[in-house]
Amino acid sequence: MRNNSKWFSKEINEKHIIYRFFGIKYSVKNPKYINRNKIAIRAQNNYDLSTLKKAGKIILFLTPPELKINGGVMSIYSLCEESRKINPDSVCIISTYPNAKFTYASNDKFPNNEKIYRFSQIIDNCENLSELIIHIPEYYSKDFYSDLNKKDKLFLKSVKNIHLNILNQNIDVMPKPQELQDLYKITDNITQTIAHNRCATQEICNYWQIPTHFLSVDIPLNKFKKYNFADKEKIIVLSNDINEYKDKVTELLKKDLPEFKIVVVENLSFPQYMELIAKAYFVLSLGEGFDGYFIQPQYVGSLGFAVYNDDFFPSDEWKNLTNVYQNYFDLLSRISRDIKRLSNDSNLYYKTIDDCLNKLNKIYSRSKYNDNLAKFYRKEYDFYPETRSNKEVCNALQV
Protein backbone atom coordinates (compact mmCIF):
# COMPACT_ATOMS: atom_id res chain seq x y z
CA MET A 1 0.00 0.00 0.00
CA ARG A 2 1.35 3.42 -0.93
CA ASN A 3 0.19 6.99 -0.31
CA ASN A 4 1.87 9.67 -2.38
CA SER A 5 1.96 13.45 -2.70
CA LYS A 6 4.45 15.70 -4.40
CA TRP A 7 6.57 16.13 -1.27
CA PHE A 8 5.62 13.20 0.88
CA SER A 9 5.05 9.49 0.38
CA LYS A 10 4.29 6.58 2.68
CA GLU A 11 4.77 2.97 1.60
CA ILE A 12 3.76 -0.02 3.71
CA ASN A 13 5.13 -3.47 2.97
CA GLU A 14 5.21 -6.62 5.02
CA LYS A 15 8.30 -5.73 7.09
CA HIS A 16 8.65 -1.93 6.93
CA ILE A 17 6.84 1.38 6.77
CA ILE A 18 8.83 3.66 4.48
CA TYR A 19 8.41 7.46 4.64
CA ARG A 20 9.90 9.91 2.16
CA PHE A 21 10.08 13.61 3.04
CA PHE A 22 11.41 15.93 0.33
CA GLY A 23 13.49 13.10 -1.09
CA ILE A 24 14.76 11.86 2.29
CA LYS A 25 13.93 8.23 3.04
CA TYR A 26 13.08 7.03 6.55
CA SER A 27 12.16 3.43 7.35
CA VAL A 28 10.70 1.82 10.49
CA LYS A 29 9.66 -1.75 11.26
CA ASN A 30 6.05 -2.56 10.53
CA PRO A 31 4.44 -3.22 13.98
CA LYS A 32 2.25 -5.93 12.46
CA TYR A 33 5.37 -7.80 11.34
CA ILE A 34 6.98 -7.53 14.79
CA ASN A 35 3.78 -8.72 16.46
CA ARG A 36 3.56 -11.68 14.08
CA ASN A 37 7.10 -12.64 15.04
CA LYS A 38 6.17 -12.64 18.74
CA ILE A 39 3.13 -14.81 18.00
CA ALA A 40 5.31 -17.22 16.02
CA ILE A 41 7.81 -17.56 18.88
CA ARG A 42 5.01 -18.29 21.33
CA ALA A 43 3.69 -21.00 18.99
CA GLN A 44 7.18 -22.51 18.62
CA ASN A 45 7.65 -22.48 22.39
CA ASN A 46 4.52 -24.61 22.70
CA TYR A 47 5.85 -27.36 20.41
CA ASP A 48 6.22 -30.81 21.93
CA LEU A 49 10.02 -31.13 21.79
CA SER A 50 10.22 -34.64 23.20
CA THR A 51 10.93 -36.02 19.70
CA LEU A 52 13.93 -33.72 19.38
CA LYS A 53 15.21 -34.71 22.80
CA LYS A 54 15.08 -38.43 21.87
CA ALA A 55 16.32 -38.08 18.28
CA GLY A 56 19.47 -39.94 17.32
CA LYS A 57 19.43 -38.61 13.75
CA ILE A 58 18.06 -35.32 12.45
CA ILE A 59 17.75 -34.10 8.88
CA LEU A 60 17.41 -30.33 9.05
CA PHE A 61 16.42 -27.99 6.22
CA LEU A 62 17.20 -24.30 6.66
CA THR A 63 14.74 -21.78 5.25
CA PRO A 64 14.92 -17.98 5.07
CA PRO A 65 13.62 -16.03 8.10
CA GLU A 66 11.41 -13.93 5.80
CA LEU A 67 8.05 -15.53 5.14
CA LYS A 68 8.07 -15.90 1.38
CA ILE A 69 7.12 -18.09 -1.56
CA ASN A 70 9.29 -18.99 -4.53
CA GLY A 71 10.40 -22.16 -6.25
CA GLY A 72 13.44 -22.57 -4.03
CA VAL A 73 11.48 -22.26 -0.80
CA MET A 74 8.73 -24.61 -1.99
CA SER A 75 11.28 -27.22 -3.05
CA ILE A 76 12.75 -27.17 0.49
CA TYR A 77 9.37 -28.12 1.93
CA SER A 78 8.92 -30.82 -0.69
CA LEU A 79 12.39 -32.22 0.00
CA CYS A 80 11.71 -32.30 3.73
CA GLU A 81 8.43 -34.16 3.25
CA GLU A 82 9.98 -36.77 0.95
CA SER A 83 13.08 -37.11 3.16
CA ARG A 84 10.78 -38.01 6.03
CA LYS A 85 9.28 -40.86 3.99
CA ILE A 86 12.70 -42.13 2.89
CA ASN A 87 14.23 -41.90 6.38
CA PRO A 88 11.66 -43.22 8.87
CA ASP A 89 14.39 -43.52 11.51
CA SER A 90 15.17 -39.80 11.31
CA VAL A 91 13.51 -36.61 12.48
CA CYS A 92 13.11 -34.37 9.41
CA ILE A 93 12.35 -30.74 10.21
CA ILE A 94 12.69 -27.18 8.92
CA SER A 95 14.11 -24.23 10.81
CA THR A 96 14.85 -20.61 10.05
CA TYR A 97 18.48 -19.50 9.93
CA PRO A 98 20.66 -19.47 13.05
CA ASN A 99 20.11 -16.46 15.31
CA ALA A 100 17.83 -14.75 12.81
CA LYS A 101 15.90 -11.76 14.16
CA PHE A 102 12.65 -13.08 12.75
CA THR A 103 11.00 -16.46 12.43
CA TYR A 104 7.58 -18.01 11.82
CA ALA A 105 5.80 -21.15 12.95
CA SER A 106 4.28 -22.05 9.58
CA ASN A 107 4.28 -20.87 5.98
CA ASP A 108 0.75 -20.23 4.77
CA LYS A 109 1.85 -18.95 1.36
CA PHE A 110 1.34 -22.39 -0.19
CA PRO A 111 -0.12 -25.77 0.88
CA ASN A 112 2.10 -27.63 3.34
CA ASN A 113 1.92 -29.21 6.80
CA GLU A 114 5.36 -28.29 8.12
CA LYS A 115 6.06 -26.79 11.52
CA ILE A 116 8.92 -24.30 11.39
CA TYR A 117 11.41 -24.28 14.26
CA ARG A 118 14.01 -21.82 15.42
CA PHE A 119 17.55 -23.10 14.95
CA SER A 120 18.17 -22.60 18.68
CA GLN A 121 15.45 -25.14 19.48
CA ILE A 122 17.56 -27.86 17.84
CA ILE A 123 20.71 -26.71 19.64
CA ASP A 124 18.98 -26.52 23.03
CA ASN A 125 17.01 -29.76 22.93
CA CYS A 126 18.90 -32.46 21.03
CA GLU A 127 20.35 -34.45 23.90
CA ASN A 128 20.98 -37.80 22.18
CA LEU A 129 22.00 -36.74 18.70
CA SER A 130 24.69 -38.78 16.95
CA GLU A 131 23.99 -37.82 13.30
CA LEU A 132 22.94 -34.52 11.76
CA ILE A 133 22.43 -33.58 8.12
CA ILE A 134 21.88 -29.87 7.45
CA HIS A 135 20.62 -28.74 4.04
CA ILE A 136 21.66 -25.12 3.43
CA PRO A 137 20.38 -22.88 0.58
CA GLU A 138 23.24 -22.05 -1.74
CA TYR A 139 23.26 -18.25 -1.38
CA TYR A 140 23.26 -18.56 2.42
CA SER A 141 26.01 -21.18 2.67
CA LYS A 142 28.78 -18.56 2.76
CA ASP A 143 27.15 -16.86 5.78
CA PHE A 144 26.05 -19.93 7.73
CA TYR A 145 29.17 -20.27 9.88
CA SER A 146 29.42 -16.56 10.72
CA ASP A 147 25.79 -16.56 11.90
CA LEU A 148 26.51 -19.28 14.46
CA ASN A 149 27.21 -18.22 18.02
CA LYS A 150 29.74 -19.94 20.27
CA LYS A 151 27.16 -22.32 21.70
CA ASP A 152 26.00 -23.34 18.21
CA LYS A 153 29.55 -24.08 17.09
CA LEU A 154 30.35 -26.15 20.15
CA PHE A 155 27.17 -28.16 19.68
CA LEU A 156 27.78 -28.85 15.99
CA LYS A 157 31.35 -29.92 16.64
CA SER A 158 30.11 -32.29 19.34
CA VAL A 159 27.88 -34.24 16.93
CA LYS A 160 29.67 -37.46 15.98
CA ASN A 161 28.48 -37.56 12.36
CA ILE A 162 27.65 -34.22 10.76
CA HIS A 163 26.99 -33.63 7.08
CA LEU A 164 26.44 -30.23 5.44
CA ASN A 165 24.69 -30.25 2.07
CA ILE A 166 24.42 -27.12 -0.05
CA LEU A 167 21.16 -26.89 -1.99
CA ASN A 168 22.54 -25.49 -5.24
CA GLN A 169 19.24 -24.43 -6.80
CA ASN A 170 20.62 -21.48 -8.75
CA ILE A 171 24.15 -21.68 -10.11
CA ASP A 172 24.29 -17.87 -10.43
CA VAL A 173 24.11 -17.34 -6.66
CA MET A 174 26.19 -20.33 -5.59
CA PRO A 175 29.20 -18.94 -3.65
CA LYS A 176 32.69 -19.47 -5.03
CA PRO A 177 34.77 -22.28 -3.49
CA GLN A 178 36.87 -19.90 -1.40
CA GLU A 179 33.71 -18.39 0.11
CA LEU A 180 32.77 -21.77 1.57
CA GLN A 181 35.96 -22.42 3.50
CA ASP A 182 34.42 -21.63 6.91
CA LEU A 183 32.14 -24.65 6.54
CA TYR A 184 35.22 -26.85 6.94
CA LYS A 185 35.57 -25.57 10.49
CA ILE A 186 32.48 -27.68 11.19
CA THR A 187 33.13 -30.76 9.07
CA ASP A 188 34.89 -32.08 5.97
CA ASN A 189 31.70 -33.93 5.02
CA ILE A 190 30.26 -31.37 2.59
CA THR A 191 28.23 -32.03 -0.56
CA GLN A 192 26.06 -30.12 -2.99
CA THR A 193 22.80 -31.11 -4.65
CA ILE A 194 21.81 -29.62 -8.00
CA ALA A 195 18.29 -28.59 -9.01
CA HIS A 196 19.01 -28.12 -12.74
CA ASN A 197 20.38 -31.14 -14.59
CA ARG A 198 22.28 -28.82 -16.96
CA CYS A 199 24.50 -28.02 -13.97
CA ALA A 200 24.80 -31.60 -12.72
CA THR A 201 28.15 -32.29 -14.37
CA GLN A 202 31.63 -33.48 -13.54
CA GLU A 203 32.91 -30.02 -14.43
CA ILE A 204 30.70 -28.40 -11.77
CA CYS A 205 31.76 -31.04 -9.26
CA ASN A 206 35.43 -30.43 -10.01
CA TYR A 207 35.08 -26.65 -9.72
CA TRP A 208 33.61 -26.79 -6.21
CA GLN A 209 35.56 -29.93 -5.33
CA ILE A 210 32.72 -31.50 -3.36
CA PRO A 211 30.58 -34.56 -4.16
CA THR A 212 27.70 -33.46 -6.35
CA HIS A 213 24.28 -35.01 -6.87
CA PHE A 214 21.26 -34.18 -9.05
CA LEU A 215 18.07 -33.91 -7.01
CA SER A 216 15.69 -32.01 -9.26
CA VAL A 217 12.48 -30.69 -7.73
CA ASP A 218 8.94 -31.96 -7.38
CA ILE A 219 6.02 -29.69 -6.60
CA PRO A 220 2.72 -31.57 -7.13
CA LEU A 221 0.48 -29.63 -9.52
CA ASN A 222 -2.16 -32.22 -10.42
CA LYS A 223 -4.61 -30.95 -7.78
CA PHE A 224 -4.90 -27.50 -9.35
CA LYS A 225 -7.77 -26.65 -11.68
CA LYS A 226 -7.38 -26.57 -15.45
CA TYR A 227 -9.45 -24.38 -17.75
CA ASN A 228 -10.53 -25.38 -21.24
CA PHE A 229 -9.26 -23.26 -24.11
CA ALA A 230 -12.66 -21.62 -24.57
CA ASP A 231 -12.98 -20.84 -20.86
CA LYS A 232 -9.64 -19.10 -20.50
CA GLU A 233 -9.32 -15.34 -20.10
CA LYS A 234 -7.26 -13.11 -22.34
CA ILE A 235 -4.48 -12.67 -19.82
CA ILE A 236 -0.71 -12.69 -20.28
CA VAL A 237 1.11 -13.25 -16.98
CA LEU A 238 4.65 -11.87 -16.53
CA SER A 239 7.07 -13.02 -13.85
CA ASN A 240 8.15 -10.35 -11.40
CA ASP A 241 11.86 -10.62 -12.20
CA ILE A 242 14.38 -7.83 -12.59
CA ASN A 243 15.11 -7.75 -16.29
CA GLU A 244 16.53 -5.02 -18.52
CA TYR A 245 14.02 -5.93 -21.25
CA LYS A 246 10.94 -6.02 -19.01
CA ASP A 247 9.68 -2.54 -19.89
CA LYS A 248 10.21 -3.08 -23.61
CA VAL A 249 8.39 -6.41 -23.51
CA THR A 250 5.49 -4.96 -21.51
CA GLU A 251 5.12 -1.94 -23.81
CA LEU A 252 5.22 -4.16 -26.90
CA LEU A 253 2.52 -6.51 -25.60
CA LYS A 254 0.25 -3.65 -24.58
CA LYS A 255 0.67 -1.97 -27.98
CA ASP A 256 0.31 -5.07 -30.17
CA LEU A 257 -2.23 -6.99 -28.08
CA PRO A 258 -4.64 -4.45 -26.51
CA GLU A 259 -7.29 -7.16 -26.10
CA PHE A 260 -5.04 -8.96 -23.57
CA LYS A 261 -4.62 -7.95 -19.94
CA ILE A 262 -0.99 -7.91 -18.76
CA VAL A 263 -0.61 -9.15 -15.16
CA VAL A 264 2.68 -9.13 -13.24
CA VAL A 265 2.86 -11.73 -10.45
CA GLU A 266 2.92 -9.86 -7.14
CA ASN A 267 1.76 -10.63 -3.58
CA LEU A 268 -0.01 -13.87 -4.43
CA SER A 269 -0.21 -17.09 -2.45
CA PHE A 270 0.74 -20.18 -4.44
CA PRO A 271 -2.90 -21.31 -4.91
CA GLN A 272 -3.77 -17.80 -6.13
CA TYR A 273 -0.82 -17.87 -8.51
CA MET A 274 -1.80 -21.29 -9.86
CA GLU A 275 -5.40 -20.12 -10.37
CA LEU A 276 -4.10 -17.08 -12.27
CA ILE A 277 -1.81 -18.99 -14.63
CA ALA A 278 -4.42 -21.71 -15.20
CA LYS A 279 -7.05 -19.27 -16.44
CA ALA A 280 -4.52 -17.20 -18.43
CA TYR A 281 -3.63 -18.12 -21.99
CA PHE A 282 0.06 -17.31 -21.64
CA VAL A 283 2.77 -16.94 -19.00
CA LEU A 284 6.16 -15.39 -19.73
CA SER A 285 9.28 -15.96 -17.63
CA LEU A 286 11.55 -12.93 -17.48
CA GLY A 287 14.01 -14.65 -15.14
CA GLU A 288 16.05 -17.83 -15.45
CA GLY A 289 13.89 -19.10 -18.30
CA PHE A 290 13.81 -22.72 -17.24
CA ASP A 291 11.86 -21.93 -14.08
CA GLY A 292 8.40 -22.27 -12.57
CA TYR A 293 6.92 -19.52 -14.73
CA PHE A 294 7.88 -21.52 -17.81
CA ILE A 295 7.34 -25.07 -16.49
CA GLN A 296 4.25 -24.87 -14.27
CA PRO A 297 1.78 -23.43 -16.81
CA GLN A 298 2.10 -26.48 -19.06
CA TYR A 299 0.88 -28.73 -16.22
CA VAL A 300 -2.36 -26.76 -15.83
CA GLY A 301 -3.11 -26.49 -19.53
CA SER A 302 -1.60 -23.06 -20.17
CA LEU A 303 1.36 -22.07 -22.30
CA GLY A 304 4.60 -20.78 -20.79
CA PHE A 305 7.11 -18.75 -22.79
CA ALA A 306 10.79 -18.25 -22.00
CA VAL A 307 14.05 -17.02 -23.46
CA TYR A 308 16.71 -19.72 -23.72
CA ASN A 309 19.37 -19.59 -21.03
CA ASP A 310 22.50 -21.70 -21.40
CA ASP A 311 22.94 -22.03 -17.63
CA PHE A 312 19.52 -23.48 -16.84
CA PHE A 313 17.95 -25.18 -19.86
CA PRO A 314 18.94 -28.87 -20.00
CA SER A 315 20.24 -28.60 -23.59
CA ASP A 316 20.12 -26.34 -26.62
CA GLU A 317 17.50 -28.68 -28.14
CA TRP A 318 14.94 -26.66 -26.18
CA LYS A 319 15.54 -23.80 -28.61
CA ASN A 320 13.54 -25.79 -31.17
CA LEU A 321 10.30 -25.38 -29.21
CA THR A 322 7.80 -22.79 -30.39
CA ASN A 323 7.54 -21.30 -26.91
CA VAL A 324 11.31 -20.87 -26.35
CA TYR A 325 13.08 -17.88 -27.89
CA GLN A 326 16.75 -17.72 -28.84
CA ASN A 327 17.27 -14.38 -27.11
CA TYR A 328 15.31 -11.24 -26.22
CA PHE A 329 15.70 -9.81 -29.71
CA ASP A 330 14.04 -12.97 -31.03
CA LEU A 331 11.27 -12.65 -28.43
CA LEU A 332 10.58 -9.00 -29.24
CA SER A 333 10.47 -9.84 -32.95
CA ARG A 334 8.09 -12.80 -32.68
CA ILE A 335 6.05 -12.93 -29.50
CA SER A 336 3.12 -10.72 -30.54
CA ARG A 337 2.66 -12.65 -33.76
CA ASP A 338 3.00 -15.98 -31.94
CA ILE A 339 0.41 -15.05 -29.32
CA LYS A 340 -2.11 -13.99 -31.98
CA ARG A 341 -1.57 -17.24 -33.87
CA LEU A 342 -1.71 -19.52 -30.83
CA SER A 343 -4.72 -17.83 -29.22
CA ASN A 344 -6.72 -18.33 -32.44
CA ASP A 345 -5.84 -21.99 -32.95
CA SER A 346 -6.62 -24.35 -30.07
CA ASN A 347 -5.03 -27.34 -31.84
CA LEU A 348 -1.73 -25.50 -32.30
CA TYR A 349 -1.96 -24.15 -28.74
CA TYR A 350 -2.29 -27.60 -27.18
CA LYS A 351 0.28 -29.15 -29.54
CA THR A 352 2.80 -26.55 -28.37
CA ILE A 353 2.01 -27.39 -24.74
CA ASP A 354 2.30 -31.15 -25.43
CA ASP A 355 5.65 -30.75 -27.21
CA CYS A 356 6.98 -28.96 -24.14
CA LEU A 357 5.44 -31.46 -21.69
CA ASN A 358 6.99 -34.40 -23.53
CA LYS A 359 10.43 -32.94 -22.92
CA LEU A 360 9.66 -31.93 -19.32
CA ASN A 361 8.37 -35.40 -18.42
CA LYS A 362 11.67 -36.96 -19.47
CA ILE A 363 13.37 -34.91 -16.75
CA TYR A 364 10.77 -34.52 -14.04
CA SER A 365 8.86 -37.42 -12.61
CA ARG A 366 7.90 -38.44 -9.10
CA SER A 367 9.76 -41.76 -9.38
CA LYS A 368 13.00 -40.13 -10.61
CA TYR A 369 12.75 -37.50 -7.91
CA ASN A 370 12.31 -40.10 -5.16
CA ASP A 371 15.06 -42.34 -6.56
CA ASN A 372 17.55 -39.46 -6.73
CA LEU A 373 16.74 -38.38 -3.20
CA ALA A 374 17.07 -41.94 -1.86
CA LYS A 375 20.46 -42.26 -3.57
CA PHE A 376 21.60 -39.06 -1.89
CA TYR A 377 20.82 -40.43 1.56
CA ARG A 378 22.61 -43.68 0.65
CA LYS A 379 25.61 -41.51 -0.31
CA GLU A 380 25.46 -42.73 -3.91
CA TYR A 381 26.35 -39.39 -5.45
CA ASP A 382 26.40 -38.74 -9.19
CA PHE A 383 29.83 -37.09 -9.23
CA TYR A 384 32.93 -37.07 -7.08
CA PRO A 385 35.87 -34.61 -7.38
CA GLU A 386 38.61 -35.85 -9.65
CA THR A 387 41.36 -33.65 -8.25
CA ARG A 388 42.15 -31.86 -4.99
CA SER A 389 39.80 -31.53 -2.05
CA ASN A 390 37.73 -28.37 -1.69
CA LYS A 391 39.64 -27.59 1.50
CA GLU A 392 42.87 -27.59 -0.48
CA VAL A 393 41.29 -25.44 -3.21
CA CYS A 394 40.06 -22.93 -0.62
CA ASN A 395 43.53 -22.72 0.93
CA ALA A 396 45.11 -22.29 -2.48
CA LEU A 397 42.70 -19.46 -3.38
CA GLN A 398 43.33 -17.52 -0.18
CA VAL A 399 45.17 -14.27 -0.64
Reported as a single tens digit per residue, the pLDDT across 105-143 is: 999 888 889 999 999 999 999 999 999 999 999 999 999
Which of 55-69, 213-227, 286-300, 304-318 bottoms out in mean pLDDT, i.e. has the lowest?
Answer: 213-227
Instruction: Judge if 61 and 181 occupy the same domain.
Output: yes
Residues 13, 111 within the same domain: no
Assess whether pLDDT exceeds 90 at residue 47: yes
How many domains in the chain? 3
* Same domain (yes/no): 64, 210: yes
Whether 389 contacts 190, CB under 8 Å: no
- Rounded CA separation 305/50 (Å): 49
More confident residue, 85 or 20: 85
Q: Where are the beta strands (DSSP E) in the chain?
A: 2-4, 8-12, 16-21, 24-29, 57-63, 91-96, 116-117, 131-137, 161-168, 190-194, 212-214, 233-238, 261-264, 280-284, 303-307, 324-325
The reply to whether 38 falls in a domain is: no
Q: Highest mean pLDDT: which of 36-40, 163-167, 387-391?
A: 163-167
* 73 and 210 belong to one structural domain: yes
Q: Pick 1 or 24 by higher pLDDT.
A: 24
Residues 129, 175 within the same domain: yes
Task: Kindly give, in sequence order, each residue whose CB lies less than 8 Å from that of residue 333, ignoring residues fewer than 6 positions away.
Answer: none
**Residue 371 located in a structural domain:** no
Do 353 and 382 lie in one domain? The reply is no
Q: Assess whether 177 and 235 both reside in one domain.
A: no
> Does the pLDDT value for residue 13 go beyond 70?
no
What whole-number distance in Å separates Cα of residue 274 and Cα of residue 211? 35
Cβ 89 vs Cβ 58: under 8 Å:
no
Does 251 share its domain with 197? Answer: no
pLDDT at 316 over 60: yes
Q: Report pTM.
A: 0.75
Q: Which range is least confidently modeled, 121-135, 266-280, 341-355?
A: 266-280
Q: What is the mean pLDDT of residues 240-251?
A: 93
* One domain for residues 174 and 262: no
Instruction: Please say whether the beta carbons of 363 and 315 come within 8 A.
Output: no
**Position 96 in a domain:** yes
Give the CATH number of the domain where residue 281 resides. Answer: 3.40.50
Q: Is 90 exceeded by the pLDDT of residue 222?
A: no
Tell me, yes or no, whether 40 lies in a domain: no
Q: Is the model's pLDDT at 395 over the cut of 60?
A: no
User: Are 96 and 115 contained in the same domain?
Assistant: yes
pLDDT at 5 over 70: no
Contact 14, 33 (CB under 8 A): yes
User: Do residues 174 and 198 both lie within one domain?
Assistant: yes
Taking only the tens place, the pLDDT of each residue in 146-201 is: 999 999 999 999 999 999 999 998 888 999 999 999 999 999 999 999 988 778 99
When pLDDT is averaged across residues 321-338 and rounded to a whole number, the result is: 96
The answer to the question of residue 67 being in a domain is: yes
Decide which of 222 and 208 is more confident: 208
Residue 399: what pLDDT?
37
Average per-residue pLDDT in the chain? 89
β-bridge partners, 93: 60
How confident is the model over 217-235, as a mean pLDDT? 85
pLDDT of residue 196: 81
**What is the rounded CA–CA span in Å between residue 379 and residue 212?**
10
In terms of residue numbers, what domain contains 234? 229-363
Name the β-bridge partners of 349. Answer: none
213 shares a domain with 67: yes
